[in-house]
Structure 1
Amino acid sequence: MLFDTHTHLNADQFETDCAEVIERAKQEGVSRMVVVGFDRPTITRAMEIIEEYPEIYASIGWHPVDAIDMTEGDLNWIASLTKHPKVVALGEMGLDYHWDKSPAEVQKVVFRKQIQLARKLDLPIIIHNREATNDVLAILEEEGARDVGGIMHCFSADWEAAKRTLDLGFYLSFGGPVTFKNANETREVAKNVPLDRLLIETDCPYLSPHPYRGKRNEPARVKLVAEQLAELHQLSLEELAEITMRNANQLFRI
Protein backbone atom coordinates (compact mmCIF):
# COMPACT_ATOMS: atom_id res chain seq x y z
CA MET A 1 0.00 0.00 0.00
CA LEU A 2 1.45 3.33 -1.13
CA PHE A 3 1.15 6.81 0.44
CA ASP A 4 1.38 9.75 -1.97
CA THR A 5 2.46 12.50 0.42
CA HIS A 6 2.04 15.43 -1.97
CA THR A 7 -0.80 15.83 -4.46
CA HIS A 8 -2.66 18.76 -5.94
CA LEU A 9 -5.93 16.99 -6.63
CA ASN A 10 -7.40 20.43 -5.88
CA ALA A 11 -5.84 21.82 -9.10
CA ASP A 12 -7.93 22.92 -12.06
CA GLN A 13 -6.39 20.07 -14.11
CA PHE A 14 -8.53 17.60 -12.11
CA GLU A 15 -11.73 19.61 -12.15
CA THR A 16 -13.60 17.24 -14.47
CA ASP A 17 -12.28 13.81 -13.46
CA CYS A 18 -11.02 13.94 -9.88
CA ALA A 19 -13.10 10.92 -8.82
CA GLU A 20 -11.73 8.79 -11.65
CA VAL A 21 -8.16 9.83 -10.86
CA ILE A 22 -8.62 8.82 -7.22
CA GLU A 23 -10.12 5.49 -8.27
CA ARG A 24 -7.15 4.76 -10.58
CA ALA A 25 -4.81 5.50 -7.68
CA LYS A 26 -6.61 2.98 -5.48
CA GLN A 27 -6.34 0.35 -8.22
CA GLU A 28 -2.55 0.87 -8.24
CA GLY A 29 -2.36 0.36 -4.47
CA VAL A 30 -2.30 4.01 -3.39
CA SER A 31 -4.29 3.80 -0.19
CA ARG A 32 -3.48 7.22 1.33
CA MET A 33 -2.80 10.67 -0.07
CA VAL A 34 -2.22 14.22 1.14
CA VAL A 35 -3.75 17.03 -0.90
CA VAL A 36 -1.83 20.30 -0.52
CA GLY A 37 -3.57 23.68 -0.47
CA PHE A 38 -1.39 26.76 -0.95
CA ASP A 39 -3.75 29.73 -1.42
CA ARG A 40 -7.41 30.55 -0.74
CA PRO A 41 -8.99 28.62 -3.67
CA THR A 42 -6.79 25.51 -3.35
CA ILE A 43 -7.14 25.35 0.44
CA THR A 44 -10.93 25.63 0.13
CA ARG A 45 -10.97 22.79 -2.43
CA ALA A 46 -8.60 20.67 -0.31
CA MET A 47 -10.99 20.93 2.64
CA GLU A 48 -13.85 19.75 0.41
CA ILE A 49 -11.84 16.77 -0.84
CA ILE A 50 -10.92 15.50 2.63
CA GLU A 51 -14.57 15.58 3.62
CA GLU A 52 -15.46 13.43 0.63
CA TYR A 53 -12.65 10.82 0.69
CA PRO A 54 -11.67 8.97 3.89
CA GLU A 55 -8.22 8.07 2.52
CA ILE A 56 -7.21 11.67 1.72
CA TYR A 57 -5.72 14.13 4.23
CA ALA A 58 -4.76 17.80 3.82
CA SER A 59 -1.80 20.07 4.31
CA ILE A 60 -2.56 23.79 4.11
CA GLY A 61 -0.31 26.81 3.87
CA TRP A 62 0.79 29.66 1.63
CA HIS A 63 3.02 29.20 -1.41
CA PRO A 64 6.13 31.42 -1.59
CA VAL A 65 5.35 32.55 -5.15
CA ASP A 66 2.15 34.15 -3.79
CA ALA A 67 3.67 35.39 -0.52
CA ILE A 68 3.04 39.00 -1.48
CA ASP A 69 -0.73 38.31 -1.42
CA MET A 70 -0.89 36.75 2.05
CA THR A 71 -2.51 38.76 4.84
CA GLU A 72 -2.72 38.24 8.59
CA GLY A 73 -6.35 37.30 7.96
CA ASP A 74 -5.19 34.48 5.66
CA LEU A 75 -2.80 33.20 8.33
CA ASN A 76 -5.53 33.26 10.97
CA TRP A 77 -7.88 31.45 8.59
CA ILE A 78 -5.30 28.71 8.02
CA ALA A 79 -4.82 28.38 11.77
CA SER A 80 -8.58 27.99 12.27
CA LEU A 81 -8.79 25.24 9.65
CA THR A 82 -6.13 23.17 11.40
CA LYS A 83 -8.76 22.22 13.98
CA HIS A 84 -10.06 19.75 11.38
CA PRO A 85 -8.71 16.30 12.38
CA LYS A 86 -7.67 15.50 8.80
CA VAL A 87 -5.42 18.56 8.43
CA VAL A 88 -2.12 16.86 9.18
CA ALA A 89 0.50 19.47 8.25
CA LEU A 90 1.13 23.11 7.32
CA GLY A 91 2.43 24.00 3.88
CA GLU A 92 3.57 24.00 1.29
CA MET A 93 5.68 26.91 2.42
CA GLY A 94 9.21 27.98 1.70
CA LEU A 95 11.13 30.02 -0.86
CA ASP A 96 11.02 30.15 -4.65
CA TYR A 97 13.64 32.27 -6.42
CA HIS A 98 12.70 31.04 -9.89
CA TRP A 99 9.63 33.26 -10.24
CA ASP A 100 9.76 36.96 -9.36
CA LYS A 101 6.15 37.71 -8.37
CA SER A 102 7.01 37.96 -4.65
CA PRO A 103 10.26 39.62 -3.53
CA ALA A 104 12.64 37.36 -1.62
CA GLU A 105 12.36 39.41 1.57
CA VAL A 106 8.55 39.13 1.52
CA GLN A 107 8.83 35.39 0.96
CA LYS A 108 11.15 35.07 3.95
CA VAL A 109 8.77 36.93 6.26
CA VAL A 110 5.81 34.77 5.21
CA PHE A 111 7.91 31.60 5.52
CA ARG A 112 9.00 32.52 9.06
CA LYS A 113 5.43 33.33 10.12
CA GLN A 114 4.23 29.93 8.94
CA ILE A 115 7.02 28.08 10.76
CA GLN A 116 6.16 30.00 13.90
CA LEU A 117 2.50 29.05 13.47
CA ALA A 118 3.44 25.39 13.00
CA ARG A 119 5.44 25.44 16.22
CA LYS A 120 2.50 27.02 18.05
CA LEU A 121 0.11 24.38 16.66
CA ASP A 122 2.63 21.51 16.88
CA LEU A 123 2.17 20.49 13.26
CA PRO A 124 4.84 19.27 10.79
CA ILE A 125 5.59 21.41 7.75
CA ILE A 126 5.95 20.74 4.04
CA ILE A 127 8.71 22.74 2.37
CA HIS A 128 8.81 24.10 -1.16
CA ASN A 129 12.35 24.97 -2.24
CA ARG A 130 13.22 26.22 -5.68
CA GLU A 131 16.68 27.69 -6.30
CA ALA A 132 16.85 28.81 -2.64
CA THR A 133 18.40 25.88 -0.77
CA ASN A 134 20.80 27.73 1.52
CA ASP A 135 18.25 30.35 2.54
CA VAL A 136 15.54 27.72 3.13
CA LEU A 137 17.81 25.66 5.37
CA ALA A 138 19.09 28.71 7.25
CA ILE A 139 15.53 29.85 8.05
CA LEU A 140 14.49 26.34 9.13
CA GLU A 141 17.48 26.24 11.47
CA GLU A 142 16.94 29.77 12.82
CA GLU A 143 13.21 29.28 13.43
CA GLY A 144 13.59 25.99 15.30
CA ALA A 145 11.76 23.92 12.70
CA ARG A 146 13.45 20.85 14.20
CA ASP A 147 10.79 21.04 16.94
CA VAL A 148 8.00 20.12 14.51
CA GLY A 149 9.82 18.35 11.67
CA GLY A 150 8.40 17.92 8.23
CA ILE A 151 9.17 17.15 4.62
CA MET A 152 11.55 18.65 2.09
CA HIS A 153 9.16 18.04 -0.78
CA CYS A 154 10.36 16.84 -4.18
CA PHE A 155 13.97 16.89 -3.03
CA SER A 156 16.45 17.76 -5.77
CA ALA A 157 19.42 19.38 -4.02
CA ASP A 158 22.86 17.85 -3.38
CA TRP A 159 24.01 15.52 -0.61
CA GLU A 160 25.31 18.36 1.58
CA ALA A 161 21.83 19.90 1.60
CA ALA A 162 20.35 16.46 2.23
CA LYS A 163 22.56 16.05 5.31
CA ARG A 164 21.53 19.45 6.70
CA THR A 165 17.88 18.54 6.10
CA LEU A 166 18.30 15.21 7.85
CA ASP A 167 20.08 16.95 10.74
CA LEU A 168 16.90 19.02 11.20
CA GLY A 169 14.96 15.79 11.67
CA PHE A 170 13.15 16.21 8.36
CA TYR A 171 12.10 13.60 5.84
CA LEU A 172 13.19 13.76 2.20
CA SER A 173 10.45 13.07 -0.33
CA PHE A 174 11.12 12.11 -3.93
CA GLY A 175 8.80 12.42 -6.89
CA GLY A 176 8.85 11.91 -10.65
CA PRO A 177 12.23 13.62 -11.26
CA VAL A 178 14.07 10.74 -9.53
CA THR A 179 13.04 8.62 -12.55
CA PHE A 180 14.27 11.07 -15.20
CA LYS A 181 17.16 9.85 -17.35
CA ASN A 182 19.33 12.88 -16.53
CA ALA A 183 18.70 12.75 -12.74
CA ASN A 184 21.82 10.83 -11.71
CA GLU A 185 22.67 13.15 -8.80
CA THR A 186 19.11 12.99 -7.42
CA ARG A 187 19.20 9.18 -7.62
CA GLU A 188 22.56 9.11 -5.83
CA VAL A 189 21.17 11.28 -3.03
CA ALA A 190 18.00 9.15 -2.79
CA LYS A 191 20.10 6.01 -2.55
CA ASN A 192 21.90 7.40 0.52
CA VAL A 193 18.88 8.70 2.44
CA PRO A 194 18.23 6.52 5.52
CA LEU A 195 15.15 4.39 4.97
CA ASP A 196 13.44 5.81 8.06
CA ARG A 197 13.56 9.32 6.49
CA LEU A 198 12.33 8.45 3.00
CA LEU A 199 8.96 9.43 1.49
CA ILE A 200 7.33 9.26 -1.94
CA GLU A 201 5.09 11.70 -3.78
CA THR A 202 3.82 12.75 -7.18
CA ASP A 203 3.27 16.54 -6.86
CA CYS A 204 0.54 15.82 -9.41
CA PRO A 205 -0.50 17.22 -11.83
CA TYR A 206 3.15 18.21 -12.22
CA LEU A 207 6.43 16.28 -12.66
CA SER A 208 5.07 13.08 -14.15
CA PRO A 209 7.63 10.25 -13.89
CA HIS A 210 9.29 8.53 -16.83
CA PRO A 211 7.87 7.32 -19.25
CA TYR A 212 5.03 9.87 -18.81
CA ARG A 213 7.25 12.94 -18.52
CA GLY A 214 5.46 16.02 -19.83
CA LYS A 215 2.00 14.56 -19.39
CA ARG A 216 -0.47 15.32 -16.59
CA ASN A 217 0.68 13.46 -13.48
CA GLU A 218 -1.67 11.66 -11.09
CA PRO A 219 -1.35 9.72 -7.80
CA ALA A 220 -1.41 6.28 -9.47
CA ARG A 221 2.07 7.06 -10.84
CA VAL A 222 3.61 7.27 -7.38
CA LYS A 223 4.11 3.55 -7.91
CA LEU A 224 6.78 4.34 -10.52
CA VAL A 225 8.62 6.53 -8.00
CA ALA A 226 8.40 3.74 -5.41
CA GLU A 227 9.77 1.22 -7.91
CA GLN A 228 12.75 3.47 -8.65
CA LEU A 229 13.54 3.97 -4.94
CA ALA A 230 13.10 0.26 -4.25
CA GLU A 231 15.65 -0.50 -6.95
CA LEU A 232 18.11 2.07 -5.56
CA HIS A 233 17.81 0.61 -2.05
CA GLN A 234 17.80 -3.01 -3.29
CA LEU A 235 14.38 -3.68 -1.79
CA SER A 236 11.18 -5.15 -3.15
CA LEU A 237 8.39 -2.74 -4.04
CA GLU A 238 6.38 -4.17 -1.14
CA GLU A 239 9.19 -3.45 1.33
CA LEU A 240 9.65 0.10 0.06
CA ALA A 241 5.89 0.69 0.20
CA GLU A 242 5.70 -0.56 3.77
CA ILE A 243 8.62 1.62 4.89
CA THR A 244 7.35 4.82 3.28
CA MET A 245 3.81 4.18 4.51
CA ARG A 246 5.10 3.78 8.06
CA ASN A 247 7.22 6.94 7.76
CA ALA A 248 4.29 9.02 6.46
CA ASN A 249 1.90 7.72 9.10
CA GLN A 250 4.43 8.55 11.80
CA LEU A 251 5.10 12.07 10.53
CA PHE A 252 1.41 12.91 10.01
CA ARG A 253 0.34 11.08 13.19
CA ILE A 254 -2.21 8.96 11.36
Structure 2
Amino acid sequence: MFVDSHCHIDFGELAEQGEALFARMAEAQVSHALCAAVSLERFPGVLALAQSRPNVFCSVGVHPEHTEGEDPEAERLVALAAQDKVVAIGETGLDYYWHKDQPEWQRERFRQHIRASRETGKPLIVHTRDAAADTVRLLQEEGADAAGGVMHCFTETWEVAEAAMALGFYISFSGIVTFKNAAQIKDVATRMPLERMLIETDSPYLAPVPYRGKLNQPAYVPHVAQEIARLRGSTVEEIAAVTTENFFKLFRHATPH
Protein backbone atom coordinates (compact mmCIF):
# COMPACT_ATOMS: atom_id res chain seq x y z
CA MET A 1 0.00 0.00 0.00
CA PHE A 2 1.06 3.59 -0.69
CA VAL A 3 0.43 6.86 1.16
CA ASP A 4 0.18 10.22 -0.58
CA SER A 5 1.86 12.40 2.03
CA HIS A 6 0.88 15.72 0.43
CA CYS A 7 -2.03 16.64 -1.82
CA HIS A 8 -4.68 19.31 -2.29
CA ILE A 9 -7.79 17.27 -3.03
CA ASP A 10 -9.95 20.16 -1.82
CA PHE A 11 -8.98 22.13 -4.94
CA GLY A 12 -11.33 22.65 -7.89
CA GLU A 13 -11.54 19.72 -10.25
CA LEU A 14 -10.33 17.19 -7.70
CA ALA A 15 -12.94 18.25 -5.15
CA GLU A 16 -15.64 17.87 -7.79
CA GLN A 17 -14.73 14.24 -8.45
CA GLY A 18 -16.05 13.04 -5.08
CA GLU A 19 -16.20 9.27 -4.64
CA ALA A 20 -14.57 8.60 -8.00
CA LEU A 21 -11.31 10.12 -6.71
CA PHE A 22 -11.25 7.79 -3.72
CA ALA A 23 -12.24 4.79 -5.82
CA ARG A 24 -9.18 5.39 -8.03
CA MET A 25 -7.02 5.71 -4.92
CA ALA A 26 -8.23 2.34 -3.68
CA GLU A 27 -7.69 0.74 -7.08
CA ALA A 28 -4.10 2.07 -7.12
CA GLN A 29 -3.56 0.73 -3.57
CA VAL A 30 -3.16 4.22 -2.10
CA SER A 31 -4.45 3.69 1.42
CA HIS A 32 -4.18 7.19 2.92
CA ALA A 33 -3.64 10.83 1.95
CA LEU A 34 -2.77 14.05 3.73
CA CYS A 35 -4.60 17.12 2.40
CA ALA A 36 -2.45 20.17 3.15
CA ALA A 37 -4.08 23.50 3.96
CA VAL A 38 -2.86 26.63 2.17
CA SER A 39 -4.83 29.33 4.02
CA LEU A 40 -6.92 29.78 7.13
CA GLU A 41 -9.90 30.69 4.97
CA ARG A 42 -9.76 27.31 3.20
CA PHE A 43 -9.03 25.36 6.36
CA PRO A 44 -12.67 24.62 7.38
CA GLY A 45 -13.24 22.89 4.06
CA VAL A 46 -10.00 20.92 4.34
CA LEU A 47 -10.91 19.87 7.87
CA ALA A 48 -14.43 18.83 6.86
CA LEU A 49 -13.01 16.70 4.06
CA ALA A 50 -10.57 14.96 6.39
CA GLN A 51 -13.21 14.37 9.03
CA SER A 52 -15.54 12.84 6.45
CA ARG A 53 -13.02 10.18 5.35
CA PRO A 54 -11.26 7.69 7.65
CA ASN A 55 -8.22 7.56 5.37
CA VAL A 56 -7.67 11.32 4.90
CA PHE A 57 -5.73 13.55 7.28
CA CYS A 58 -5.05 17.28 7.08
CA SER A 59 -2.83 20.13 8.22
CA VAL A 60 -3.42 23.74 9.21
CA GLY A 61 -1.34 26.62 7.93
CA VAL A 62 -0.79 29.35 5.36
CA HIS A 63 1.26 28.76 2.23
CA PRO A 64 4.03 31.35 1.67
CA GLU A 65 2.50 32.26 -1.70
CA HIS A 66 -0.84 33.08 -0.06
CA THR A 67 -0.63 36.83 0.57
CA GLU A 68 -4.27 37.64 1.30
CA GLY A 69 -6.54 36.75 4.19
CA GLU A 70 -5.74 36.14 7.83
CA ASP A 71 -2.10 36.09 8.87
CA PRO A 72 -1.22 33.03 10.96
CA GLU A 73 -0.40 33.69 14.59
CA ALA A 74 1.05 30.80 16.59
CA GLU A 75 -1.79 30.83 19.13
CA ARG A 76 -4.41 30.64 16.39
CA LEU A 77 -2.62 27.78 14.68
CA VAL A 78 -2.32 25.89 17.96
CA ALA A 79 -6.05 26.25 18.62
CA LEU A 80 -7.01 25.04 15.14
CA ALA A 81 -4.52 22.18 15.28
CA ALA A 82 -6.39 20.72 18.27
CA GLN A 83 -9.16 19.57 15.91
CA ASP A 84 -9.48 15.87 15.19
CA LYS A 85 -7.66 14.72 11.99
CA VAL A 86 -5.21 17.67 12.01
CA VAL A 87 -1.84 15.95 12.07
CA ALA A 88 0.58 18.70 10.97
CA ILE A 89 1.31 22.43 10.82
CA GLY A 90 1.63 23.91 7.34
CA GLU A 91 2.00 24.11 4.45
CA THR A 92 4.45 26.81 5.45
CA GLY A 93 7.93 27.97 4.53
CA LEU A 94 9.59 30.52 2.24
CA ASP A 95 9.15 31.27 -1.44
CA TYR A 96 11.46 33.93 -2.86
CA TYR A 97 10.62 32.95 -6.44
CA TRP A 98 7.15 34.51 -6.34
CA HIS A 99 7.63 37.00 -3.49
CA LYS A 100 11.10 38.48 -3.63
CA ASP A 101 9.87 41.82 -2.29
CA GLN A 102 8.51 40.65 1.08
CA PRO A 103 11.12 38.34 2.60
CA GLU A 104 10.89 39.54 6.21
CA TRP A 105 7.09 39.25 6.21
CA GLN A 106 7.45 35.68 4.95
CA ARG A 107 10.08 34.86 7.54
CA GLU A 108 7.92 36.07 10.43
CA ARG A 109 4.97 33.98 9.24
CA PHE A 110 7.26 30.97 8.96
CA ARG A 111 8.47 31.51 12.53
CA GLN A 112 4.85 31.55 13.75
CA HIS A 113 4.27 28.15 12.20
CA ILE A 114 7.45 26.69 13.68
CA ARG A 115 6.43 27.90 17.13
CA ALA A 116 2.98 26.35 16.72
CA SER A 117 4.61 23.08 15.68
CA ARG A 118 6.77 23.04 18.79
CA GLU A 119 3.83 23.81 21.07
CA THR A 120 1.51 21.20 19.56
CA GLY A 121 4.13 18.54 18.93
CA LYS A 122 2.77 18.24 15.39
CA PRO A 123 5.36 18.23 12.60
CA LEU A 124 5.87 20.95 10.01
CA ILE A 125 5.15 20.66 6.31
CA VAL A 126 7.74 22.94 4.68
CA HIS A 127 7.69 24.51 1.21
CA THR A 128 10.89 26.19 0.04
CA ARG A 129 11.70 27.74 -3.33
CA ASP A 130 14.77 29.85 -4.04
CA ALA A 131 15.09 30.22 -0.27
CA ALA A 132 16.91 27.13 0.97
CA ALA A 133 19.54 28.90 3.12
CA ASP A 134 16.98 31.03 4.97
CA THR A 135 14.61 28.08 5.33
CA VAL A 136 17.24 25.95 7.04
CA ARG A 137 18.44 28.88 9.14
CA LEU A 138 14.98 29.64 10.51
CA LEU A 139 14.31 25.98 11.23
CA GLN A 140 17.55 25.92 13.23
CA GLU A 141 16.94 29.23 15.03
CA GLU A 142 13.40 28.31 16.06
CA GLY A 143 14.22 24.80 17.23
CA ALA A 144 12.12 23.04 14.62
CA ASP A 145 13.78 19.73 15.47
CA ALA A 146 11.57 19.60 18.58
CA ALA A 147 8.62 18.36 16.50
CA GLY A 148 10.32 17.53 13.20
CA GLY A 149 8.68 17.74 9.83
CA VAL A 150 9.06 17.20 6.12
CA MET A 151 10.58 19.14 3.26
CA HIS A 152 7.75 18.53 0.84
CA CYS A 153 8.07 18.34 -2.95
CA PHE A 154 11.84 18.43 -2.56
CA THR A 155 13.76 20.17 -5.35
CA GLU A 156 16.96 21.21 -3.58
CA THR A 157 20.52 19.87 -3.41
CA TRP A 158 21.90 16.97 -1.43
CA GLU A 159 23.50 19.47 0.97
CA VAL A 160 20.10 21.00 1.77
CA ALA A 161 18.66 17.52 2.29
CA GLU A 162 21.49 16.72 4.71
CA ALA A 163 20.85 19.93 6.68
CA ALA A 164 17.15 19.15 6.92
CA MET A 165 17.74 15.56 7.97
CA ALA A 166 20.15 16.78 10.66
CA LEU A 167 17.10 18.51 12.18
CA GLY A 168 15.14 15.26 12.11
CA PHE A 169 13.23 16.17 8.96
CA TYR A 170 12.04 13.82 6.26
CA ILE A 171 12.40 14.45 2.52
CA SER A 172 9.37 13.98 0.28
CA PHE A 173 9.52 13.37 -3.46
CA SER A 174 6.79 14.31 -5.91
CA GLY A 175 6.22 13.52 -9.58
CA ILE A 176 9.12 15.83 -10.43
CA VAL A 177 11.49 12.92 -9.71
CA THR A 178 10.08 11.19 -12.81
CA PHE A 179 10.93 14.12 -15.12
CA LYS A 180 13.88 13.53 -17.48
CA ASN A 181 15.60 16.82 -16.61
CA ALA A 182 15.35 16.38 -12.82
CA ALA A 183 18.94 15.14 -12.37
CA GLN A 184 19.50 16.90 -9.05
CA ILE A 185 16.35 15.46 -7.49
CA LYS A 186 17.09 11.99 -8.84
CA ASP A 187 20.55 12.22 -7.23
CA VAL A 188 19.06 13.04 -3.82
CA ALA A 189 16.48 10.25 -4.13
CA THR A 190 19.29 7.81 -4.89
CA ARG A 191 21.59 8.86 -2.06
CA MET A 192 19.31 9.46 0.91
CA PRO A 193 18.48 6.91 3.60
CA LEU A 194 15.17 5.18 3.04
CA GLU A 195 14.11 5.75 6.62
CA ARG A 196 13.82 9.50 5.92
CA MET A 197 11.89 9.29 2.66
CA LEU A 198 8.25 10.11 1.85
CA ILE A 199 6.37 10.20 -1.45
CA GLU A 200 3.61 12.55 -2.55
CA THR A 201 1.69 13.89 -5.53
CA ASP A 202 1.19 17.56 -4.55
CA SER A 203 -1.92 17.09 -6.69
CA PRO A 204 -3.54 18.64 -8.61
CA TYR A 205 -0.05 19.80 -9.68
CA LEU A 206 3.08 18.07 -11.02
CA ALA A 207 1.61 14.86 -12.39
CA PRO A 208 4.31 12.22 -12.83
CA VAL A 209 5.31 10.60 -16.07
CA PRO A 210 3.33 9.16 -17.92
CA TYR A 211 0.66 11.71 -16.93
CA ARG A 212 2.87 14.81 -17.04
CA GLY A 213 0.89 17.91 -17.97
CA LYS A 214 -2.41 16.40 -16.91
CA LEU A 215 -4.43 16.82 -13.73
CA ASN A 216 -2.61 15.04 -10.92
CA GLN A 217 -4.33 12.92 -8.24
CA PRO A 218 -3.39 10.69 -5.29
CA ALA A 219 -3.86 7.55 -7.40
CA TYR A 220 -0.69 8.53 -9.29
CA VAL A 221 1.66 8.38 -6.30
CA PRO A 222 2.76 4.79 -7.15
CA HIS A 223 4.52 6.23 -10.21
CA VAL A 224 6.75 8.26 -7.88
CA ALA A 225 7.61 5.09 -5.97
CA GLN A 226 8.33 3.24 -9.21
CA GLU A 227 10.88 5.82 -10.32
CA ILE A 228 12.60 5.88 -6.94
CA ALA A 229 12.76 2.09 -6.96
CA ARG A 230 14.31 2.19 -10.44
CA LEU A 231 16.91 4.76 -9.38
CA ARG A 232 17.90 2.80 -6.30
CA GLY A 233 17.78 -0.70 -7.80
CA SER A 234 15.06 -1.54 -5.32
CA THR A 235 11.48 -2.74 -5.63
CA VAL A 236 8.26 -0.76 -5.69
CA GLU A 237 7.04 -2.93 -2.82
CA GLU A 238 9.98 -1.88 -0.64
CA ILE A 239 9.52 1.82 -1.39
CA ALA A 240 5.79 1.55 -0.70
CA ALA A 241 6.29 -0.24 2.61
CA VAL A 242 9.05 2.02 3.90
CA THR A 243 7.42 5.32 2.93
CA THR A 244 4.10 4.20 4.44
CA GLU A 245 5.84 3.30 7.69
CA ASN A 246 7.70 6.62 7.63
CA PHE A 247 4.46 8.54 7.16
CA PHE A 248 2.95 7.18 10.35
CA LYS A 249 6.21 7.65 12.25
CA LEU A 250 6.40 11.32 11.33
CA PHE A 251 2.70 12.16 11.55
CA ARG A 252 2.28 10.64 14.98
CA HIS A 253 -1.31 11.83 15.34
CA ALA A 254 -2.40 9.99 12.18
CA THR A 255 -4.02 6.66 12.98
CA PRO A 256 -4.10 4.05 10.21
CA HIS A 257 -7.44 2.34 9.59
Matching residue of 2:27: 27
Matching residue of 2:250: 251
TM-score, normalisation: structure 1:
0.95
Q: CA deviation at 1:101?
A: 8.4
Does the CA-based 8 Å contact 2:94-2:129 persist in structure 1?
Answer: yes
Matching residue of 1:14: 14
Tell me the secondary structure at the aligned position of residue 5 of structure 1.
Answer: strand
TM-score, normalisation: structure 2:
0.94
Matching residue of 1:146: 145
Matching residue of 2:165: 166
Does the CA-based 8 Å contact 2:41-2:69 persist in structure 1?
Answer: no
Matching residue of 1:65: 65
Matching residue of 2:46: 46
Q: CA deviation at 1:85?
A: 3.0
Moved over 6 A (4+): none
Structure 2: gaps (5+ residues): none
Tell me the secondary structure at the aligned position of residue 129 of structure 1.
Answer: strand
AA aligned opposite 2:235: S
Given the alignment of the two structures, is residue 198 of structure 1 paired with residue 190 of structure 2, yes or no? no
Q: Describe the superposition over 1:63-95 as per-residue Cα deviations: whole angstroms up to 9, x where unpaired.
A: 1112564336x6544322212231110000000
Separation (CA, whole Å) in 2 of partners of 1:19 and 1:200: 23
1:111-122 → structure 2 map (5 Å cutoff): 111-122=110-121
Does the CA-based 8 Å contact 1:204-1:216 persist in structure 2?
Answer: yes
Does the CA-based 8 Å contact 1:66-1:102 persist in structure 2?
Answer: no
Separation (CA, whole Å) in 1 of partners of 2:147 and 2:68: 25
Separation (CA, whole Å) in 1 of partners of 2:183 and 2:166: 23
Does the CA-based 8 Å contact 1:65-1:102 persist in structure 2?
Answer: no
Number of residues of Structure 1 aligned to a counterpart in Structure 2: 253
Given the alignment of the two structures, is residue 82 of structure 1 paired with residue 81 of structure 2, yes or no? yes
Q: CA deviation at 1:199?
A: 0.3
Q: Describe the superposition over 1:110-169 as per-residue Cα deviations: whole angstroms up to 9, x where unpaired.
A: 000110111111110000111111110110011110111000001111111111111111
Report the aligned-residue RMSD.
1.6
Separation (CA, whole Å) in 2 of partners of 1:102 and 1:211: 37
Does the CA-based 8 Å contact 2:51-2:84 persist in structure 1?
Answer: no
Does the CA-based 8 Å contact 1:11-1:42 persist in structure 2?
Answer: no
- Relative to structure 2, which stretch is displaced further, 240-249 or 74-83? 74-83
Tell me the secondary structure at the aligned position of residue 220 of structure 1.
Answer: helix
Q: Describe the superposition over 1:34-63 as per-residue Cα deviations: whole angstroms up to 9, x where unpaired.
A: 001111343111111111110000111111
Separation (CA, whole Å) in 2 of partners of 1:89 and 1:102: 28
Matching residue of 2:105: 106
Separation (CA, whole Å) in 2 of partners of 1:229 and 1:161: 19
Structure 1: gaps (5+ residues): none
AA aligned opposite 1:206: Y
